[in-house]
Amino acid sequence: MDFTAKQISEFLKGEIEGDPHVSVHTISKIEEAQKGSLTFLANPAYTQFIYNTGASIVLVNRDFKAEKPVKSTLIKVENAYNALAQLLSLYEKSLPQKKGISSLAFVAQSAKLGKDLYVGEFTVIDEGAVIEDNVKIYPQCYIASDVTIKSGSVLYPGVKVYQNCVIGNGCTIHSGAIIGADGFGFAPQNDNNYMKVAQIGNVILEDHVEIGANTTIDRATMGSTIIKKGVKLDNLIQVAHNVTIGENTVIAAQSGIAGSSKVGKNCMIGGQVGISGHISVGDDVKIAAQSGLSSSIRKGKIIMGSPAFDHDKYVKAYIHFRNFEKLIKKVDDLEKTIAELKSENT
């Protein structure tokens, strides 16, 4: 379906510079876009491409000022990236929606099912599970006993949700994610063996949480592991037992949070970050990729390194890290000079 610049601008409440009647039927990256496509410019590093892109329409921020002629029609909006997200969401909703329960799915008699569901082939919904309205569960998922999945949530193929866990409204869980596996709890014994500690808690995902592919969230030993409203977790993340992650925190791939730690709201955590157990991360904290956090951090801090410490101090110290070999040589030369001077004066 084609859309004109005028229609898109009205939807986004934007301002047109160029031909309001030009139309597009696809969305492309700015450096690859051809005639008939829409693209966007949000990162200044890509500004060079706007002058030779083949895109018919480009979304730009309102403060964008071209330094030379632009062939494309521009739509100026408050935030080009957010505007693109709105268009992509609208496009996704326009696609055909899957509905119905496959004859190849297994649904236990005591499970409670809402309206307008999709349950794919070879999915199992066990005893006592509650699946509310407009939920989509793609093929080969396993929903254990007494699980609750609230309205509008989507589980992609191969998701496993263990017993008693709760998935909130409008959550998205990507393929291979496991919600509610046992926490890593073992009691050392005198004979150097380990006795497993039963994990009798659950996992609670509050509303509008997104969980990436192959991410694992362990059930609590007692009580709940809680992922609060609006949290976004990337692929391949490990969240251990009894962890709490605060509202609207985002965590990039391959990070791990050890047991009983608490992460505040509105935090931004880079990839491959490790957070030790039983510590607290305050609200609005930013942690750079590959950092290792072994002690609690106060609200609003920006940290990096392993062990992690204040970002500004790390940047200053890094200059010395890189020159460490030279510094050692200078110290060796100074010691040699001092020794020679002492020798001459004796």
CATH code for the domain defined by 100-312: 2.160.10.10
Query: What distance in Å separates the CA atoms of residue 270 and residue 291, rounded to the nearest whole number?
Result: 8
CATH 3.40.640.10 fits 3-94, yes or no: no
Phi then psi for residue 80, to 5 deg, are -65, -35
Measured CA to CA, the distance from residue 220 to residue 123 in angstroms comes to: 25
Of residues 241, 278, 311, 320, which has the active-site annotation?
241
Please report the pLDDT score of residue 308 as a whole number: 83
Question: What whole-number distance in Å separates Cα of residue 172 and Cα of residue 144?
Answer: 18
Q: What are the structural domain ranges in the chain?
A: 3-94, 100-312, 319-344
- What is the full per-residue pLDDT of the chain (346 aa) written as tens digits? 789 999 999 999 999 999 999 999 999 999 999 999 999 999 999 999 999 999 999 999 999 999 999 999 999 999 999 999 999 988 888 888 899 999 999 999 999 999 999 999 999 999 999 999 999 999 999 999 999 999 999 999 999 999 999 999 999 999 999 999 999 999 999 999 999 999 999 999 999 999 999 999 999 999 999 999 999 999 999 999 999 999 999 999 999 999 999 999 999 999 999 999 999 999 999 999 999 999 999 999 999 988 887 877 877 777 777 777 888 888 888 988 888 888 887 6
Residue 2 pairs in a beta bridge with none
pLDDT value at position 181? 98
For the chain, what's the residue count?
A: 346
Q: What is the pLDDT of residue 108?
A: 98
Give the pair of three-digit tokens for residue 344. Answer: 């001459």
Q: What's residue 213's pLDDT?
A: 98
Catalytic residue check, 241: yes
Structure-token pair, residue 176: 């291979």
